[in-house]
Amino acid sequence: MKLFFLLPPLLVSSLLYGEGLKLISQDNRELLLEGKSESCKITMKSRGEILKTNCTDFVNSKNINIVCTPNKTICKTIKEVDSVLYDKKIVQEKKQPFLKDIKDYPYYNARKIIIKAGYKPKERLTPPEDAESRKAYDIGYKEVVDCSSDIAINPCQFKFHAKYGKTLVVDTYGSSPSVTAWYYE
């Protein structure tokens, strides 16, 4: 009689933890991520921040930073990368501030939510030259990038400083602008 048992997920993850990561240089904070017949290099700036990499790096749907070999034969969270560099201590993952879905919100309300979440308007140094963008700028939306001159649809774009070098872009539509899309660049 064969006996089968399942390991709890936490135990399984701790058994696999760190596999595929090799420290190249502690001083330069360089690591090698190795998968099946492929590898890539990661250089960290500080805990949770990548300085440069030839790995694929992205933020998953749970807002966790991930690095993978080019063909994704192995992927690691930034927490795992940090743990190899910083005395095997797991550090808190650096994430963009949580931003609930603001699609279809009036821009006035969406802007309040964005700022409350910790984003800062990316203010222009000089007022825009075109009339539609200037209207948005003059009512206090200093983060306006550009607006169309078509009054009926009036699409506009606004930018905010997000953390870790990213920019939050918000697109709006309509004469009483509502958010049509938001994304990071």
CB atoms within 10 A of CB 94: 15
Q: Which of 115, 120, 105 lies closest to 177, judged by CA?
A: 105
pLDDT at 151: 61
Same domain, 179 and 114: yes
Same domain, 76 and 113: no
The verdict on residue 21 lying in a domain is yes
CB 88 within 8 A of CB 79: no
Same domain, 74 and 112: no
Same domain, 81 and 112: no
Same domain, 13 and 77: yes
The verdict on residue 78 lying in a domain is yes
pLDDT at 91: 42
pLDDT at 87: 58
Per DSSP, the three-state class of 31 is: strand
The verdict on residue 97 lying in a domain is no
pLDDT at 12: 34
pLDDT at 108: 93
Same domain, 72 and 139: no
The verdict on residue 92 lying in a domain is no
The verdict on residue 4 lying in a domain is no
pTM: 0.49
Same domain, 68 and 112: no
pLDDT at 27: 76
The verdict on residue 17 lying in a domain is yes
Quick one: how many helices (H) and strands (E) in the chain? 4, 12
Same domain, 77 and 23: yes
Q: Which of 70, 65, 61 lies closest to 45, judged by CA?
A: 65
pLDDT at 29: 86
Same domain, 80 and 133: no
Residue 124 contacts by C-beta under 8 Å, 6 or more apart in sequence?
137, 142, 143, 144
CB atoms within 10 A of CB 5: 4
pLDDT in tens, the chain (185 residues): 444 444 444 333 333 335 788 888 777 888 888 888 889 999 888 888 888 999 988 887 778 888 888 888 888 888 888 888 775 444 444 555 667 788 999 999 999 999 988 889 999 889 998 888 898 899 999 999 998 877 667 789 999 998 767 889 999 987 778 999 888 88
pLDDT at 79: 84
pLDDT at 131: 87
Which tokens belong to 120? 């800062």
How far is 44 from 15, CA to CA, in rounded Å?
24
Same domain, 122 and 173: yes
How far is 159 from 156, CA to CA, in rounded Å?
10
What total number of domains does the chain contain? 2
The residues with which 49 forms a beta bridge, in sequence order, are 46
Query: How many CA atoms lie less than 13 Å away from 184 in the CB half-sphere?
Result: 16
Same domain, 17 and 81: yes
pLDDT at 11: 34
The verdict on residue 111 lying in a domain is yes
Domain that holds residue 134: 107-184
The verdict on residue 93 lying in a domain is no
How far is 25 from 178, CA to CA, in rounded Å?
49
